[in-house]
Every structure is written in structure tokens, then in C-alpha cells.
């Protein structure tokens, strides 16, 4: 009887240890920031979403500030960590929208430095036109 009880306690201990080791850890605070035309910009609402079209995977990243301006980036053929070209006319694009005017990137890059099923993080910068130069962009967003 004592051996059965000890076996039960041992198995219960293994189960508890296993579950504690596989516990989902919090990802930390989300963020999206940039410098636009030399002015600091911070999103208070953000979204990252993956989509699958056949064998092609896309990734969309967006953020909006309290003023209502937005940065939106779309990678048409997302392959994980790496550097993606945001130049005008390519398969990827970025835009900055303020007062309902869209400023599409003419040149720029997005670097994915960390990517998992749950979140994506990285850096970006692009030049849309003389009224929208986006530099020092960073993001760490939970994927919806």
C-alpha cells in the first residue's frame, strides 16, 4: 500500500513538473514606435496578422497613434526572420497615413529579428515622399 502511494506521489510530481515547464510565458508589452519627419511617433493600437494563400504566406503589421495616423506594412511572401525590401513596385509595401492621405514607401526595408507563432518583432524604415520619411521604426507585436 505504501509503495502504491509513493508511486502515485511520484507520478503526480512528474505531471506537475511537466506542466510547469511547458507553461506559456508572457510575451511582455507590445510596442510600435518610429520617427516620422524627425518627430517621435508611438502607436497605441497595433496589429500583426499572418495569412496563407495557397503555399504563399503573408504578414501584415500596423499601428495607429492617438492622433489617428497609421503605419501599415505588408510582406506578400513572408519567410520568417530576415530583411525585406519595401521599395515601390515590389511584392511588399509600406505606407504612412496621416489626415487621410496615404504616403506609400518609395524605398526602404523591414527586418524581422524575431518571429514565432505568437509574436513578431523587428525594425523598419522607409521614405515615401518629402512629407513622409519614416526612420528608426521598431515593433514587438502579438500575432492575431
pLDDT in tens, 2-49: 444 444 434 434 344 444 443 334 456 799 999 999 999 999 999 999
User: What is the DSSP track for 72-120?
Assistant: EEEETT--SSEEEE--TTSS-EEEEEETTEEEE-SEEEEEEEEE-SSEE
Let me know if residue 11 belongs to a domain.
no
State the pLDDT at residue 83. Answer: 97
Q: What percent of the chain is modeled with pLDDT above 70?
A: 81
**Number of independent structural domains in the chain:** 1
pTM greater than 0.85 (yes/no): no
Let me know if residue 112 belongs to a domain.
yes
User: 16 or 144, which is more confident?
Assistant: 144
Let me know if residue 43 belongs to a domain.
yes
Let me know if residue 125 belongs to a domain.
yes
Let me know if residue 64 belongs to a domain.
yes
Instruction: Please report which confidence band the pLDDT of residue 99 belongs to, taking 50, 70 and 90 as the band edges.
Output: confident
Containing structural domain, residue 118:
30-142
Averaged over 56-85, what is the pLDDT? Answer: 94
Amino acid at each position: 500500500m505504501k509503495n502504491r502511494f509513493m508511486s502515485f506521489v511520484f507520478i503526480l510530481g512528474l505531471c506537475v513538473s511537466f506542466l510547469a515547464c511547458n507553461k506559456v510565458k508572457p510575451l511582455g508589452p507590445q510596442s510600435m514606435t518610429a520617427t516620422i519627419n524627425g518627430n517621435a511617433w508611438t502607436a497605441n493600437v497595433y496589429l500583426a496578422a499572418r495569412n496563407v494563400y495557397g503555399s504563399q504566406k503573408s504578414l501584415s503589421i500596423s499601428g495607429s497613434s492617438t492622433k489617428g495616423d497609421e503605419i501599415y506594412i505588408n510582406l506578400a511572401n513572408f519567410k520568417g526572420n530576415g530583411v525585406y525590401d519595401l521599395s515601390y513596385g515590389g511584392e511588399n509595401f509600406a505606407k504612412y497615413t496621416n489626415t487621410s492621405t496615404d504616403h506609400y514607401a518609395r524605398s526602404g526595408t523591414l527586418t524581422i529579428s524575431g518571429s514565432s507563432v505568437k509574436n513578431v518583432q523587428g525594425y523598419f524604415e522607409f521614405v515615401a515622399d518629402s512629407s513622409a520619411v519614416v526612420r528608426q521604426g521598431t515593433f514587438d507585436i502579438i500575432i492575431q
